Amino acid sequence: MCGVFGIHGHDEASNIAYLGMHALQHRGQESAGLVACRDGKLRQRVAMGLVSDAFDRATLANLPGETAIGHIRYSTAGSSELRNAQPFLFEYAGGSLSIAHNGNLVNADELRAELEAQGSIFQTSSDTEVIVHLMARARAQKGSADVVGALIEALKRVRGAYSLVLLTHDEKMIGVRDPNGFRPLCIGRLKDAFVLSSETCSFDLIEAEFIREVEPGEIVVVDKSGMTSHKALPAQEPGSGETFCVFEHVYFARPDSLVNGKSVYRAREKMGHHLAREAPVEGDVVIPVPDSGVPAAVGYSRESGIPFEMGLIRSHYVGRTFIEPQDSIRHFGVRLKLSPVRSLVDGKRVIVVDDSLVRGTTSRKIVKMLRSAGAREVHLRISAPPTTNPCFYGINTPTRSELVAASHTVDEIARYVTCDTLAYLSHEGLMASVGGTGYCSACFTGNYPVPLGSSDLVQLRRARV
Amino acid sequence: MCGVFGIHGHDEASNIAYLGMHALQHRGQESAGLVACRDGKLRQRVAMGLVSDAFDRATLANLPGETAIGHIRYSTAGSSELRNAQPFLFEYAGGSLSIAHNGNLVNADELRAELEAQGSIFQTSSDTEVIVHLMARARAQKGSADVVGALIEALKRVRGAYSLVLLTHDEKMIGVRDPNGFRPLCIGRLKDAFVLSSETCSFDLIEAEFIREVEPGEIVVVDKSGMTSHKALPAQEPGSGETFCVFEHVYFARPDSLVNGKSVYRAREKMGHHLAREAPVEGDVVIPVPDSGVPAAVGYSRESGIPFEMGLIRSHYVGRTFIEPQDSIRHFGVRLKLSPVRSLVDGKRVIVVDDSLVRGTTSRKIVKMLRSAGAREVHLRISAPPTTNPCFYGINTPTRSELVAASHTVDEIARYVTCDTLAYLSHEGLMASVGGTGYCSACFTGNYPVPLGSSDLVQLRRARV
Amino acid sequence: MCGVFGIHGHDEASNIAYLGMHALQHRGQESAGLVACRDGKLRQRVAMGLVSDAFDRATLANLPGETAIGHIRYSTAGSSELRNAQPFLFEYAGGSLSIAHNGNLVNADELRAELEAQGSIFQTSSDTEVIVHLMARARAQKGSADVVGALIEALKRVRGAYSLVLLTHDEKMIGVRDPNGFRPLCIGRLKDAFVLSSETCSFDLIEAEFIREVEPGEIVVVDKSGMTSHKALPAQEPGSGETFCVFEHVYFARPDSLVNGKSVYRAREKMGHHLAREAPVEGDVVIPVPDSGVPAAVGYSRESGIPFEMGLIRSHYVGRTFIEPQDSIRHFGVRLKLSPVRSLVDGKRVIVVDDSLVRGTTSRKIVKMLRSAGAREVHLRISAPPTTNPCFYGINTPTRSELVAASHTVDEIARYVTCDTLAYLSHEGLMASVGGTGYCSACFTGNYPVPLGSSDLVQLRRARV
Amino acid sequence: MCGVFGIHGHDEASNIAYLGMHALQHRGQESAGLVACRDGKLRQRVAMGLVSDAFDRATLANLPGETAIGHIRYSTAGSSELRNAQPFLFEYAGGSLSIAHNGNLVNADELRAELEAQGSIFQTSSDTEVIVHLMARARAQKGSADVVGALIEALKRVRGAYSLVLLTHDEKMIGVRDPNGFRPLCIGRLKDAFVLSSETCSFDLIEAEFIREVEPGEIVVVDKSGMTSHKALPAQEPGSGETFCVFEHVYFARPDSLVNGKSVYRAREKMGHHLAREAPVEGDVVIPVPDSGVPAAVGYSRESGIPFEMGLIRSHYVGRTFIEPQDSIRHFGVRLKLSPVRSLVDGKRVIVVDDSLVRGTTSRKIVKMLRSAGAREVHLRISAPPTTNPCFYGINTPTRSELVAASHTVDEIARYVTCDTLAYLSHEGLMASVGGTGYCSACFTGNYPVPLGSSDLVQLRRARV
């Protein structure tokens, strides 16, 4: 996953973008980057790691101007190298152009081969670079100076998930959402400035006002004369409507954000309610796996009447490089991050609520940890359906063969995880919680709303054998 | 505050100590240090910052041996400099000696002046160095080789709060708790090794078994033949019994620890119950200030029947150096760390539960943040009595003039904080929550169980004028 | 300036390239980079700063393979940013390709505009990227798989100075020198491996044997079957023969290198001889400006019979960021690097030999420093003609308006520099020292052997007004 | 070795001290430290590494005041740890005191044992700490407030080499040189400020005027009323006069310094003259081992009439951590630092002049390097006598068993080094070069002017067996 941000028309554009990106940090910790524009020159800073590591006062001072765009990367397509860190910065016939992308294209490999055959050279292994090449080609063929026209031509060729923020050397900021609207992109105002961000939590931090979401298939262009909207992108698949990623609600977005017009916290709390109704169990205490499991656990507790307790404590001091002892105590990963409160679980029948179970290894460690803290029974409740299929639209799920639910029954998983009972939320329960239709839930169902590319299909087929 | 740790008789002593210190990280983030012993040589590593920053595989490999002690510092006495980072390491007639100290001596200034008059030189501004000078003098005068004897002589002269862990060049590990037992110190076992730690949460992390607390006034000595106990320290004040710091329960210790034999989580939850009974208010939702306010908020919600929600989200990515915008948006400190969930508070009567209100500035920002997220009413509930007096026994409270409750009524504070209503837990309610007697609650009452030193009294008097 | 290096067929290719680049460090300190090939994959590491800062054991271990190319950058064309650090790495229809370039193209701007008009996008501001785009276009148009053919097509379009080392994903290492042979490029052997380097001092360090120089207009290709040579590049300017840069001998190359078949040290010593004959002066001592002025000062001393002394000491500890006092003592730049030996100059008539005088500011400081150390007279002798014209072929000279000799007479310069007498070597003396014809000395004469591009001409004209 | 610096009465004391220490960097690269005084408070900064690494604008800004002392360390006594980095900073009955020491005490172990028996505790493994303990004891016994009196009492007890600079909290700067005057210490003036430095090259850099040397056995005290001199230290050994370290002239001091009143450059040049007379040889070229061998090579060339050439080039880019290839090319240490100029040595009879030959390993590599560059004969000339004895007065020579000349004849060494002939300067020639008497040359003769301590004698005896 990734996060994108943009601001147009603010004295301290890069400072504000820095804060806005900080609020999106949960969407990716691999790299962070900013491009700002002053006097027709785009200046770039990208670095591996967190926003707060990538920038300091000096680096921000080197990014002057009233317009800036930023990107937070959580590697999906393209390998983990600095040269894949966005926003990318290119020069082409139209001048300088910067682009930041959240999502994943499914036909990038095919387009890349086609472009190379025409003499294009590539500098990154990212799918995003394809979009700019297509723009440059469109501009060359049409001879037109219109960046929006070139962008539309380019996007007609690509297929997949994309929420884009672009910045041109003449200070046009452009926001785009693919016709399916897989990934979020929101519009806000901060005094006279326009702001774009993957999530509304950015707006709260910088005290901007949330205006509306960019609509699926919409292109918004902000320049000195204000914001204009273009709707020129055809459906990616005949008959396909909006298919917003339900996993944003389940796990990815921050609970204080609105996505797809709905409160993430409230949606998760409802998943807990539905889960309690669908999969009740006798127990003494309901505890969440913090932090993302908290709202669903609150919902489960309220619906079931079983007391909620913060039975697992999350440490705030887990650094990125932690040294494990060599022989004596292994597998500290989870243990360093989470600790059970013995006085809450000792002798108790514990219901643990988590938001997902992907490989099963973490859940297994949590169950063991609770038992060694004295839990008499451990009942695991997952506030989403089993994850059976990989995502090709920008969520960094493991390949199908690593998804435990793709090849094991719930009983088998429960045995592996060593819990007393295990239950998942049903697909219906999930849909009822997020309020309806217009979602992509391919990771739970295998119904991919936009046809996959050839390499994706190979991966899928291999896993199914 | 500080944390101390020690392990004796383990192949990977410094690796285990590193983990044990990590579990104590909440007790101080200013500096971290480790001293390990092999072949009669004590090796030291101290650094400013977190445990995970101070050590890596290479620095730990330079600390070989089966015995190690560690220290986490949260500056109390002595200024914030590397030379005040513990464990200290000294050479004296008895050989090499290392010492780690949690607590604060109240007569260090007087003793220091006396020692300097006799020709001693000091290298730190820490009260702890006094103890070692007294040991060296005791040893010189007695001509005895007995480190425990010298330690007892030294401790008879000092007054105040001290939980100590010492390590000698001949691999004796010593644990001490002052006769009042102000600060915690626990004994554990990890296979054949003995472990000492400020809190039991260290034992859970390293999978050690909790044996018992070091008793007030007790000295435990661990060497190859096992552990022996000495009780040679007289009461610090005639008639004074045990006075364990109640603030450990209120705020300082980790909720998954046992301190003074009781669960910190449970004690805080009870504070929430008592608070709900003492200071009820009509409201729609109870939200904690995370993370330390969570148990009390759970208790308040359960007792009052008003729903608990995680209405403030705590960010995991707040670095230590964060850049604020210069003109537009100020005072980001709290805002970067906490964000309100608009969907939970908009239009609601919100009851916010926090564990303390020291200067009032943070509470004021939280109230404003909740109102700007739409809260109709904000009722602030503090799960402890008003903090009216500074601590001289090792908690790093502000001076009296900075304690808002020392010079303002509850109504005045409520007006400053801009909440609709404000209420604190009563002293009786607090004592009922932690189960009784044997506590120091000087910060709430001004009753200091061990007489203060002259410089402390000057500070107190000045504030009272 | 820059330095290029390549090695083909060695177990420790990147380690050897690292050493070879270290020997070229004097050719540029802005950035350093390495690309190595294994199993069809090119791996890249570039960083700002010195070779020894850019690489450590871990980064070299991430560059496995038997073939590697490297680059040392001293910014000429393109601004000082990491994205301009070479070797560049591209993907195109022919696979992966890496390129390292020493020199400067004069028609890059025109070619870039043409390529952009055809839909190419650029990621660097470097002239070098143009070459790869031309290769990709040539390959696309011809549909040929032949990288050498595409390279020849591309180079027929570019004009200027280029010594190139390229590496393909199928482990072909290619060396090229432009038809004028502006910049050096040498071929060596290290056991079975072929080595390319800008200067022979690399070969001495890695104990490789110097075979010969790549000839002007020659393309050498090294693959598993050995080395083949191609001569397909036409003259850049009708009638233009070889024009090796004389400034390599004057200043740029290392004294222990052979360039253009001649010893740099010996050439500089001869410049000193000629200078002593052309511009004799009565004096007590001849001192060099170390280190580059030493050979010429030795020559001057020998020819004149006036004793040579090391009258200026060069410090080895001048870091890159040095703090100057704010009010009291300013202009430490030269002073920190060079100190006069008072006992050698006090009361003496001092002849100072330097290899160049570009802006005059450094010479002025040296003269003042010598006078304040007691020198009775200071006579400045420059072992090259006055630098009157900027270089457009890859030496990073200042613009014409900053070249003091472009607009001032020798007398005026002497007055500015405050020396008693000033003399330069004549152009004839210089040519006699380096042995003849076939040199570019445009920086001294203004005769540019390859026609300049339009932007270069604008710069020249502006300075002449 | 080490370097000491002090300045009293300058607005930018720590900035000037930083520069002064930079000029002393050749005297030690292990650690650097500064202590400055303002308003009765001494502030300290010490760090491992070079001056330019240890300080930046921010750290210097944290060292305000008009008085500062500094230290450059090249570990002699005490191990290589940050806690041994000077200036040390202590608190004692007289207030705060900082001390910087160049030299080595020979009876530190005995004094330390005595002090520990009286109850002193030590925090460093440095001999210097003993001096401060003795001062604190003297002050305690006398009850006097006089820091100079306490210093005199302390110094009467110590034996060995010491040039000290001290700073008190009431802004007294004190300079001391032991009665033998082993190590240099000079007095300078910078406008109204007094300056102390190990060498006069510091004064040249900061544009201070050299006044005189601190005399052996003299204590100078600088305070607001000016400078006063005390001569209260008795001879360390009956009948012993001044014994300035001749190795400062041979190798250690910078050539542009005056030490013991004489030019270091000129002394070295004379060594070359004497060496040419004592050990002539037929040759084609005289080349120095740069940089320290240059003056003697100039002298040798002039006396012998054989041309001087800079036949070995010293690299400016040798970082402190350099990676060697693993299998192919080893022993890069010397090779990275020095490269032969093939055109100067190929086919020649080469006379190499170096200033010392300690273990022989470096000379051996240089000889091999010259031969592989084509030298027909290599004659090694050392501008000092054979180093046969370790130094106990502050030069960091190897132990006696590592000194090749302690156990091998000149012929044996020549064979090991693989040169054609080898010759050393005679002791008489050395003394004639430095102008006379009053030198310690124990490292060449074994005559130690101040009796050694017991541990030193053990080391000597062991090596002799």
List the strands of the sheet with D219-223, edge to edge: D88-92, D95-102, D163-168, D173-177, D219-223, D226-230
Nearest to D253 by CA among D271, D267, D272, D270: D267
Contacts of D122 in chain B (CB under 8 A): 90-92
Rounded CA separation A78/A2 (Å): 13
The residue of A121, A142, A144 whose CB has the most chain C CBs within 10 angstroms, and thus the best one to mutate to test that interface, is A121
Establish whether chain D is in contact with chain C, requiring a minimum of 3 CB pairs below 8 angstroms: yes
C13-35 pLDDT, tens digit each: 999 999 999 999 999 988 999 99
Rounded CA separation C169/C276 (Å): 54
Which among D83, D93, D125 has the least Cβ separation from residue B117?
D93
Residue of B nearest to D139 (CA): B119
Quote the pLDDT of residue C123: 87
CB C273 within 8 A of CB C423: no
Cβ under 8 Å to A: B residues 39-68 = 50-53, 55-57, 60
Cβ under 8 Å to D: C residues 269-328 = 291, 294-295, 298, 302, 307-310, 313-319, 321-328
Q: Distance from A224 to chain B by nearest Cα, in Å?
A: 21
Size of interface A-B (CB pairs under 8 A): 174
Mean pLDDT lowest for which of A196-210, A392-406, B283-297, D120-134? A392-406
Size of interface C-D (CB pairs under 8 A): 173
CB contact (8 A) between residue A53 and residue B319: yes
Rounded CA separation B151/B139 (Å): 9
One of 3.40.50.300, 3.30.1540.10, 2.40.50.180, 3.40.50.2020 is the CATH number of D258-315+334-464, namely 3.40.50.2020
Mean pLDDT lowest for which of A220-229, C178-187, C384-393, D236-245? D236-245
pLDDT range class, residue D125, cuts 50, 70, 90 = confident
Quote the pLDDT of residue D140: 86
Residue C77 has pLDDT above 60, yes or no: no
Residue of A nearest to B52 (CA): A319
Nearest to A263 by CA among B375, B289, B341: B341
Quote the pLDDT of residue A455: 75
Rounded CA separation C338/B371 (Å): 65
CB contact (8 A) between residue B256 and residue A322: no
Residue C67 has pLDDT above 70, yes or no: yes
For CATH 3.60.20.10, the residue range(s) in chain C are 2-242
B26-45 pLDDT, tens digit each: 999 889 999 999 999 999 99
CB contact (8 A) between residue B317 and residue A26: yes
**C385 prior amide bond cis, ω within 30:** no
Mean pLDDT lowest for which of A270-274, B335-339, C232-236? B335-339
Any idea which fold A258-317+332-464 has? Rossmann fold (3.40.50)
The residue of A16, A45, A52 whose CB has the most chain B CBs within 10 angstroms, and thus the best one to mutate to test that interface, is A52
CB contact (8 A) between residue A117 and residue C93: yes
pLDDT range class, residue A77, cuts 50, 70, 90 = low
Nearest to C111 by CA among C126, C92, C93: C126
Quote the pLDDT of residue C358: 85
Contacts of D133 in chain B (CB under 8 A): 119, 121
Q: What is the mean pLDDT of chain A?
A: 91
Quote the pLDDT of residue A333: 63
* The dihedral sign for the CA sequence B410, B413, B414, B415: positive
D174-191 pLDDT, tens digit each: 999 999 999 999 999 999
CB C285 within 8 A of CB C350: yes
Categorise residue B204: left if φ over 0, alpha if ψ from -120 to 50, beta otherwise: alpha
CATH architecture, range C258-316+332-464: 3-Layer(aba) Sandwich (3.40)
pLDDT range class, residue C319, cuts 50, 70, 90 = low
Residue of C nearest to D267 (CA): C343
C235-285 pLDDT, tens digit each: 998 877 899 999 999 999 999 999 988 999 999 999 999 999 999 999 999
Which among B205, B266, B324 has the least Cβ separation from residue A339?
B205
Q: Distance from B24 to chain A by nearest Cα, in Å?
A: 10
Neighbours of D235 (CB within 10 A): 13
Which among C93, C123, C133 has the least Cβ separation from residue A90?
C123
Cβ under 8 Å to A: B residues 95-154 = none
Quote the pLDDT of residue D83: 81
Q: Distance from A332 to chain C by nearest Cα, in Å?
A: 25
Residue A320 has pLDDT above 70, yes or no: no
Any idea which fold B2-242 has? Glutamine Phosphoribosylpyrophosphate, subunit 1, domain 1 (3.60.20)
Q: Distance from A132 to chain C by nearest Cα, in Å?
A: 8
Quote the pLDDT of residue C150: 94
- The arithmetic mean of pLDDT across residues A291-314, rounded, is 96
Q: What is the mean pLDDT of chain D?
A: 91
B374-393 pLDDT, tens digit each: 999 999 999 999 999 999 99
Q: Give the CA distances from residue C324 to residues C241, D19, D49, in Å, rounded to whole numbers and listed in that order.
A: 49, 8, 19
Contacts of D132 in chain B (CB under 8 A): 121
CB contact (8 A) between residue D92 and residue B139: no
CB contact (8 A) between residue B204 and residue A326: no
- The arithmetic mean of pLDDT across residues A186-190, rounded, is 97
- What SS3 state is found at C115? helix
CB contact (8 A) between residue A204 and residue B339: yes
CB contact (8 A) between residue B137 and residue D122: no
Q: Which chains touch D (3 or more CB pairs under 8 A)?
A: B, C
CB contact (8 A) between residue D120 and residue B120: yes
CB contact (8 A) between residue D89 and residue B123: yes
Backbone dihedral angles phi then psi of residue C400, each to the nearest 5 degrees: -60, -35
CB contact (8 A) between residue C12 and residue D328: yes
Location of structure tokens 């004959």 = C277
For CATH 3.60.20.10, the residue range(s) in chain D are 2-240
CB contact (8 A) between residue C341 and residue D263: yes
- Identified catalytic residue from C2, C201, C245, C391: C2
**Residue ranges for chain B with pLDDT beneath 70:** 75-80, 143-145, 318-333, 459, 461-465
pLDDT range class, residue A20, cuts 50, 70, 90 = very high
Quote the pLDDT of residue C321: 47
**Is D2 one of the annotated active-site residues of the chain?**
yes
Token digits for D327?
């299998």
Q: What percent of chain C has pLDDT over 90?
A: 76
What would you report as the CA-atom Rg of chain A, rounded to the nearest whole angstrom?
Answer: 23
Residue of D nearest to C312 (CA): D256
Q: Distance from A69 to chain B by nearest Cα, in Å?
A: 16
For CATH 3.40.50.2020, the residue range(s) in chain B are 258-315+332-464
Rounded CA separation D20/C152 (Å): 58
Establish whether chain A is in contact with chain D, requiring a minimum of 3 CB pairs below 8 angstroms: no
Q: Distance from A65 to chain C by nearest Cα, in Å?
A: 19
CB contact (8 A) between residue C125 and residue A89: no
> Mind telling me the catalytic residues of A?
2
Which among C88, C122, C141 has the least Cβ separation from residue A91?
C122
Residue of D nearest to B83 (CA): D83
Rounded CA separation A188/A3 (Å): 16
Say which CATH class D2-240 falls into.
Answer: alpha beta
Domain B258-315+332-464 has CATH 3.40.50.2020: yes
A123-139 pLDDT, tens digit each: 888 899 999 999 999 98
Which among D92, D117, D120 has the least Cβ separation from residue B116?
D92
Q: Distance from A62 to chain B by nearest Cα, in Å?
A: 14
Rounded CA separation D269/D263 (Å): 10
Token digits for B262?
């009781």
DSSP state of A368: H
CB contact (8 A) between residue A121 and residue C133: yes
Interface predicted TM-score (ipTM) of this complex, two decimals: 0.91
Size of interface A-C (CB pairs under 8 A): 77
C202-213 pLDDT, tens digit each: 999 999 999 999
CB D57 within 8 A of CB D32: no
